[in-house]
Amino acid sequence: MNHIAPHVAVAALGSGACLHCGAPAPDGAAYCCGGCEAAHALIDDLGLDLYYRRRTLDPELRAPRPQDEPAPDYAGFTRATDEGACQLDLAIDGLHCAACVWLIESVLARQPDVTAARVNMSTSRLRLGWRGPVRRGEELAALVRKLGYRVIPFDPSGFRATRSEADRRLLRAMAVAGFAAANVMLLSVAVWAGHSQGMGPATRDMMHWLSALIALPAILYAGRPFFASAFGALRAGRTNMDVPISIGVALAAGMSLVETINGGQHAYFDSAITLLFFLLVGRYLDERARGRARGAVEHLLALQSGTVNVIAADGTLKATPPSQVAAGARIAVAAGERIGIDGVVREGRSDIDTAMVTGETVPQAARPGDAVFAGTINLTAPVTIEATAAGEGTLLAQIVRLMEAAERGRNRYVALADRVSRLYAPVVHLAALATFGFWTLVMGMAWQPALMIAVSVLIITCPCALALAVPVTQVVASARLMRQGILVKSPTALERLQRIDTVVFDKTGTLTVGRPELANAGEIDPQVLRAAATLAAASRHPLAQALLRAAGPVAAASGAREIAGSGMALDTAAGEIRLGSRDFAGDAEAPCRADMELWYAAPGAAPVCFRFRDRLREDAAKVVAELQRRGYAVTLMSGDRRETVAAIAQAVGIEDWQAAVKPQDKAAALAALTAAGRQPLMVGDGLNDGPALAAACASASPATAVDLARNAADVVFQGDRLAPVAEMLAVARRSGAVMRQNLALALLYNLGAVPVAVAGLVTPLVAAVAMSSSSLLVIANALRLRGWRGR
Amino acid sequence: MDGLLYLIPAALLLGLIGLGAFLWAMRSGQFEDLDGAASRILFDDEDR
């Protein structure tokens, strides 16, 4: 093997970036950390360094840096297959490009006992199979983690599978309809040509019978999604777009069959089946676009959901899903771990990052007896908590109740297409009835031909283009948004977004990154900064981490110890060095006051103060200004303290702000806005935003939000910027305009066709041309959204 | 017109073969990972 020692390769390259993950490395070092060095050595040893030449790292994604994390419980997710092998499904975080896929598959394939390793790039999932003990899965997963990817086991038999089954059924129906439509159309063209060239009636009848043979089973099979939906709506006493579609298709097929039996001139099998085909294409694309968005959100959820470590009677730890933890159970939470369940601290003292729950950026001290909530992060020291009753009293239960109440209001929203069809269906059916009456009563025609004409009115008005008008636009708009990392989850989200006139932002994690940043770096001696960073490197406290980011990569000081609720201490020959709170390491008299501060005290020197602020998203002020320019009222609503909120509001240029708002007050404020005739968009990320997200007319969450917020939100956006909020509103408005154009086009087409049908002039050729061309026109119009540049 | 008697069945048969091939491809999972399949071809691997 042509093996080059990693260190030699470094000297040759001589760059300042880590050879493995590409992040800046300390001066002269080849790697930013030991994990990257190990990963590089592993790849090199296996002769897979092609990876480094072929890969393209996406700066938006997490760098492939191996991280120390508690390993999840893989054994529970491992399944035994028939041949005595094991199978495990893993969600992978950090896939950048095809080279990552190749690397993971190659590394695993080189393990002698691995029988299958296949990464699905579309869904970022790995299916792993091996021969041997179940526990071997842990080692194999550890191998992938060592390369710098995060892996989370999941159960593929969950609801994700059932959805893709629906997806597949649509695709199969589409394939059948496509096959039948193409062949029936072929026969129909022959019949149309035959009309002018004198095809004999016997040949024509044969063509009709053949068409019936192909079309009828295909319609029965491919039409099921529409028939089922129409039947369900009718039984519930409602009507939707599928009702006129089903009636139109059924009548067209039935009438054509009667004509064929009677040896008549006209059969509409081609219209009926092409109509189904077009509609299925639209529906499949719609389903797929939303399925992909939901899949992506689910993937994000899977990456964060974890197990909690329950302390068993014999003192051992057992990883358990939070839903299976009984009240009163004791749970160990390590420093840096997310708390998975509501509870009360029983042992240990620590600091808790509650930003997700309350919106506060400053961590809070937790002592035995204090309540802690799921979703918060335990920062400084391990604690033992006792799970509280999962009853009505918990914060989560309270918030979920508020959300359910708020959501009931929103479910009343009726999709545009359904609103149109409520008007459309009765009008069309009355028109057909009137046509029948006109021909029989006024013109004295026999009832059979009059019925034919009435039915042809229903066929020509079958809302093909109308049913495509909205979904096609949604597909194009969602695909466009998805390319920018904006995932549209709800089917009516785009329609609701376009009516928005007020945007309500949460502060922490929404307008800001939710991550503190050193504010007074300029006032501090770089030497002191680096010295403080060596202490900070040993802590998970967000301020320590911020200090570390400001100082750049340094090695952690050995021997540093963490004192929960106070800070870090290090014993040196000269005395104790301290980094921590004002009381612990600072000067109580100093005027330097900030919400977030760290003090550094070394023997023989005056204490130094590091001040921090929560950094605004880079483009927050620009996006707020842009929204205001477009005429949106912009509001800031936060659970944080007045001074902090006021400062942020001023920085981004929001005049209307409220601070210290409780979750229920947020929801109430949004309900009040709606009652006042406003259409608010809520943008938030915390547990405390959940009810407000559900109460708003439409809602959006950053991908870093808590599970609950992401589930409640209509739209989830990725990345560190706020621009997606402006973009989704712009695209929604634009798509609203396109939807209305499409509906107008479709209605116009039908209006033009109705007189022809009423006059009894609709032949199968006219019907086929009118339907296909109107559908294509609507699709072409929707496609304009793809290249739209925005304002 | 006699040609129709075998041309139409032949056309239908070809169409059915196409449909069958599509349904088979779907069942065997070839539509599961469209992004991966597109770029997988770029990596030659002597191991497989």
CB of A6 within 8 A of CB of A47?
no
pLDDT confidence of A111, banded at 50, 70, 90?
confident
Which pair of structure tokens corresponds to residue A80?
A: 């035994």
Rounded-to-integer distance, Cα A641 and Cα A114, Å:
55
pLDDT confidence of A175, banded at 50, 70, 90?
very high
Residue reference for tokens 């007050």: A665
Sequence-ordered strand ranges (E) for A277-395: 308-311, 317-320, 330-333, 343-347, 350-353, 364-366, 371-372, 377-378, 383-387
Q: What is the dihedral of CA A762, A763, A769, A774, to 10 degrees?
A: 30
Nearest to B36 among A101, A168, A186 (CB): A101
Length of chain A: 791
The number of C-alpha atoms within 13 Å of A283 and in the hemisphere containing its C-beta is 26
SS3 A102: helix
For residue B8, the chain A residue with the least C-alpha distance is A187
Mean pLDDT, residues A593-611 taken together: 78
Query: Percent of chain A, pLDDT > 70?
Result: 87
Question: What was the pLDDT predicted at A627?
Answer: 92
Which are the contacts of A444, defined by CB distance < 8 A and separation ≥ 6?
none
pLDDT for residue A159 is more than 50: no
Interchain pair B4, A203: CB under 8 A: yes
Query: Percent of chain A, pLDDT > 90?
Result: 8
pLDDT for residue A606 is more than 90: no
More confident position, A597 or A320: A597
Q: Looking at beta carbons, which residues of chain B come within 8 Å of A176?
A: 19
Chain A and chain B share a number of CB contacts under 8 A equal to 61
N-terminal to C-terminal alpha carbon distance within chain B: 54
pLDDT for residue A529 is more than 60: yes
pLDDT for residue A2 is more than 50: no
The 3-state secondary structure of A164-185, one letter per residue: HHHHHHHHHHHHHHHHHHHHHH
* Minimal C-alpha gap between A724 and chain B (Å): 24
Question: What was the pLDDT predicted at A539?
Answer: 75
A506 given a catalytic annotation? yes
Closest CA to A249 of A279, A289, A281: A279
Interchain pair A122, B31: CB under 8 A: no
SS3 B30: coil
Nearest to A106 among B19, B31, B47 (CB): B47
pLDDT for residue A726 is more than 60: yes
Interchain pair B43, A182: CB under 8 A: no
Chain A residues 152-191 with a CB less than 8 Å from chain B: 168, 171-172, 175-176, 179, 182-183, 186-187
Q: Looking at beta carbons, which residues of chain B come within 8 Å of A101?
A: 36, 39-40
Q: Looking at beta carbons, which residues of chain B come within 8 Å of A168?
A: 26
Rounded-to-integer distance, Cα A767 and Cα A192, Å:
12
Interchain pair B16, A179: CB under 8 A: yes
Closest CA to A409 of A202, A152, A719, A692: A692
Mean pLDDT, residues A271-295 taken together: 81
Q: Lowest mean pLDDT of A1-5, A525-529, A591-595, name the range.
A: A1-5
For residue A168, the chain B residue with the least C-alpha distance is B26
pLDDT for residue A477 is more than 80: yes
Active-site residue (options: A506, A614, A640, A689):
A506
pLDDT confidence of A628, banded at 50, 70, 90?
very high
**Residue of B34, B39, B41 to mutate when probing chain A, most A C-beta within 10 A:** B39
* Minimal C-alpha gap between B21 and chain A (Å): 11
Question: What was the pLDDT predicted at A337?
Answer: 73
pLDDT for residue A300 is more than 70: no
pLDDT, tens only, B4-29: 788 888 888 998 999 999 999 888 87
Closest CA to A465 of A122, A706, A782, A135: A782
More confident position, A737 or A322: A737
* Minimal C-alpha gap between B15 and chain A (Å): 7
Rounded-to-integer distance, Cα A673 and Cα A167, Å:
39
Question: What was the pLDDT predicted at A9?
Answer: 39
Q: Looking at beta carbons, which residues of chain A come within 8 Å of B48?
A: 109
For residue A173, the chain B residue with the least C-alpha distance is B23
Touching check for A332 and chain B: CB below 8 Å?
no
The 3-state secondary structure of A20-80, one letter per residue: CCCCECCCCCCCCCHHHHHHHHHHHHCCCCHHHHHCCCCCCCCCCCCCCCCCCCCHHHCEE
pLDDT, tens only, A4-41: 334 433 333 445 778 888 877 777 778 877 888 888 88
pLDDT for residue A631 is more than 60: yes
Q: What is the ipTM of this complex?
A: 0.84
Chain A residues 1-60 with a CB less than 8 Å from chain B: 50, 54
Q: Looking at beta carbons, which residues of chain A come within 8 Å of B23?
A: 172, 175
pLDDT, tens only, A406-460: 666 555 566 777 777 778 878 888 888 999 999 899 888 888 788 888 888 887 7
**Residue of A2, A95, A105 to mutate when probing chain B, most B C-beta within 10 A:** A105
Question: What was the pLDDT predicted at A408?
Answer: 61
pLDDT for residue A304 is more than 60: no
CB of A96 within 8 A of CB of A55?
yes
The region that residue A631 occupies, defined by phi over 0 for left and psi between -120 and 50 for alpha, beta otherwise, is left
Instruction: Report which residue type is found at A585.
Output: A
Residue reference for tokens 């070839």: B30
Closest CA to A729 of A632, A617, A621, A618: A632
Q: What is the pTM of this model?
A: 0.71
CB of A635 within 8 A of CB of A657?
yes
Rounded-to-integer distance, Cα A381 and Cα A336, Å:
8
Touching check for A101 and chain B: CB below 8 Å?
yes
Interchain pair B15, A110: CB under 8 A: no
Interchain pair A110, B47: CB under 8 A: yes
Question: A789 burial class (0-12, 13-18, 19+ CB within 10 angstroms)?
Answer: exposed
Question: What was the pLDDT predicted at A786?
Answer: 82
For residue B1, the chain A residue with the least C-alpha distance is A203
Rounded-to-integer distance, Cα A24 and Cα A9, Å:
17
Mean pLDDT, residues A297-324 taken together: 68
* Minimal C-alpha gap between A79 and chain B (Å): 20
Interchain pair A102, B31: CB under 8 A: no
Interchain pair B11, A183: CB under 8 A: yes
For residue B38, the chain A residue with the least C-alpha distance is A98
Touching check for A252 and chain B: CB below 8 Å?
no
Report chain A's mean pLDDT, rounded to a whole number: 80
Interchain pair B34, A171: CB under 8 A: no
Question: What was the pLDDT predicted at A282?
Answer: 82
Question: What was the pLDDT predicted at A644?
Answer: 80
pLDDT, tens only, A736-780: 899 889 888 888 888 888 888 888 787 778 887 887 888 888 888
Q: Looking at beta carbons, which residues of chain A come within 8 Å of B42?
A: 54, 98
Q: Looking at beta carbons, which residues of chain B come within 8 Å of A54?
A: 42-43
Interchain pair A122, B36: CB under 8 A: yes
The residues on B that touch A, with CB distances below 8 Å, are: 1, 4, 8, 11-12, 15-16, 18-19, 22-23, 26, 31-36, 39-40, 42-43, 45, 47-48
pLDDT confidence of A594, banded at 50, 70, 90?
low
Nearest to B26 among A98, A122, A171 (CB): A171
Interchain pair B22, A186: CB under 8 A: no
For residue B4, the chain A residue with the least C-alpha distance is A203
Question: A21 burial class (0-12, 13-18, 19+ CB within 10 angstroms)?
Answer: buried
pLDDT for residue A95 is more than 90: no
